[in-house]
Amino acid sequence: MLKNIPAILSPELLKTLCEMGHSDRIVIADGNFPCESIGKNAKVIRCDGHGVPELLDAVLQLFPLDTYVEKPVNLMQVMPGDTAKAPIWDEYKSIVAKYDERGSSAVGEIERFAFYEEAKSAYAIVATGETAVYANIMLQKGVVVN
């Protein structure tokens, strides 16, 4: 056990967050995301039984967001004509605002298939049990400044 480390973060996920460098990206994916096929060139970390919001909050306690890009956080856009709503996004924006002074302005959206393409070059993909639709989120790592 370690002090001040969120218990939801497994040793494998902590190691991966530490290994990541500036501009590396990590996807925290919902339960419908094709983690294994999209993540063939990434580390796929299983966090079944956990939702995205609690993992996002825990990760952002340790993970600096990139300040050199306008939108270091990206969500998968809802497909045109899809009646699904993504109310979980408000929760994500609130969590991001706790850890980044840019607040919700640090959060962008990427078209669904472009999100898949971007995710193929992610350093890691975290597979969750999140059941909300369009609940995938991609974070770009920044630098720790003392």
What amino acid positions are annotated as catalytic residues?
22, 66, 116
Contacts of 46 (CB under 8 A, 6+ apart): 127
> Do 29 and 133 meet the contact criterion of CB atoms below 8 Å apart?
no
Distance CA 86, CA 75 (A): 10
Residue whose structure tokens are 């973060």: 9
Residue 74: beta bridge partners? 108, 138
Element housing 25 (H / E)? strand 25-29
